[in-house]
Amino acid sequence: MQAVKFSMVVLAAALGMGAAWATEDAANAKEAEAMVKKGVAYIKANGKDKGFAEITRRDSKEFHDRDLYLAAHKLDGTCVAHGTNEKMVGKNFIDMKDIDGKEYIKERVELGKTKATFYTDYKFVNPVSKKIEPKTAYCERLDDYVVCGGIYKK
C-alpha cells in the first residue's frame, strides 16, 4: 500500500512539473524587456543597417528565442526589421489592424513619439502555435525608431 501511495505522489508531482515546464516554453515579460534592451544596445554599437539586419535574420540566436523576437518601425510606421517575417521590412504598416480592428502600429509609433519606453496590447500570430493570440509588447524608442519585443498571453 505504501508503494502505491508513493507512486501516486511521484506521478502527481511529475504531472505538476510537466505543466510548469509547458508554461516555461513561452517567453515572459522580463525576457522581452531584456531582449529589447539588448537589441537597442546592439543597434547603437553596430549601426542601424547591421542591427536591423540581425534582428530580421530568422536564425539569429541573439534576437529570436522560442515565441520571442524583435520588430522595429520608423515613427512613420515603416517596418525596418522583423524577426519572423522579412517580407514586412520596407513596408508601411501605419494603418494595419489586428483581428479586433486595433491600429496597433499607429498606437506604437504615437506612443514612441512621446515616451522612451512603453507597453502595448494587440493580437498577432504566435510563431510557435501559428494561432492569433493576445500579445503584449514592450517597446523602446531609439532615435526615430521604435524597437519592440512581445510576449503572448494565454
Question: Collapsing DSSP states into helix, strand and coil, what is residue 26?
Answer: coil
Distance CA 119, CA 62 (A): 21
The CATH number of the domain where 99 resides is what? Answer: 3.30.450.20
> Global pTM?
0.82
Q: Does residue 6 fall inside a structural domain? A: no
Q: Does residue 145 fall inside a structural domain? A: yes
Expressed as residue numbers, the domain containing 76 is 27-152
Q: Does residue 129 fall inside a structural domain? A: yes
User: Based on the structure, what is the number of domains in the chain?
Assistant: 1
Q: Does residue 8 fall inside a structural domain? A: no
Q: Does residue 1 fall inside a structural domain? A: no
Tens-digit pLDDT profile for residues 92-105: 999 999 999 999 99
Tens-digit pLDDT profile for residues 31-71: 999 999 999 999 999 999 999 999 999 888 889 998 999 99
- Quickly count: other Cβ atoms within 10 Å of residue 148's Cβ: 25
